[in-house]
Amino acid sequence: AHLVRISYPGRLRDSTPILKCISPCLQLLPLSRYLLCEIGVSEPASLQLLDERAVYTAVKAAVCRAHGDYGAALSSISFAVKYVNAHTGVVFLRCRKRYYRLIWSALAFITSLDSRGKKIPCFFNCLHVGGTIRTCQKFLIRYNTEQLHRMLPRCRNEAERLEVQKAVRSCSLKCTRREEEEEDEWDEDK
């Protein structure tokens, strides 16, 4: 990076040099924040009805209620639901870095999701805010391993214990899909 000293003589009281960076500036990219949320429902069966459209409309309506026209317009700049997992209830929301707080604060006011004509009472739990999807994925892996560690002492029989231990050992960034399938198997055993 080249640094150039530019000074304006006579204009200011003591001519302060202004440093200017000429190298290509990466800050021109629109910065975004990814909110990693978990949807909690009373009946696990109703999680199957989860889809991106329901989450999108619910979050938009909540922001409109909480922050008005101003908040709704600002937060909807490059707002998208990036990923929805109907089995575990994990949702990735993307928004601008400057306005992610509007969405974050409005998540607490969501009480139900409207999906295919049915109303699912639920609550949103924001687990992590990251700059990229990869950092959120890494956090999700760590979080899931911690959850599995917590489940281990509460296993009722040896088969379940082996399942959980296998799942914990296979946790890595490449094995995300496999790890989620093992979690589902354990849920079905219950």
Partner 1 sequence: MRQADQRQEPAAYERLVYKNASEYHYMKISLIFEKEGKRLEAAFFKQLIISALRDLYGEVGAAFPFDVLKFDEASLTAILRVYSSGLVKLWSALTLLGSYHNESCAVRVTQVSPFLLALSGNSRELVLN
Q: Which residues bind partner 1 (CB under 8 A)?
A: 10-11, 13, 63-71, 105
- Choice between 71 and 130, CB closer to partner 1: 71
Dihedral sign for Cα 137, 143, 144, 149, please.
Answer: positive
Least gap, CB of 38 to partner 1 (angstroms): 24
CA distance 179 to 185: 10
CA distance 143 to 136: 10
Element (H, E) at 127: strand 118-130
**Cβ-Cβ contacts under 8 Å for 62 (sequence gap 6 or more):** 106, 107, 109, 110
Least gap, CB of 98 to partner 1 (angstroms): 17
CA distance 65 to 102: 11
**Cβ-Cβ contacts under 8 Å for 134 (sequence gap 6 or more):** none
- Choice between 49 and 74, CB closer to partner 1: 74
DSSP letter at 9? T
Position 38, amino acid = E
- Choice between 108 and 152, CB closer to partner 1: 108
- Choice between 9 and 117, CB closer to partner 1: 9
Least gap, CB of 123 to partner 1 (angstroms): 18
Least gap, CB of 141 to partner 1 (angstroms): 35
- Choice between 11 and 190, CB closer to partner 1: 11
Least gap, CB of 106 to partner 1 (angstroms): 9
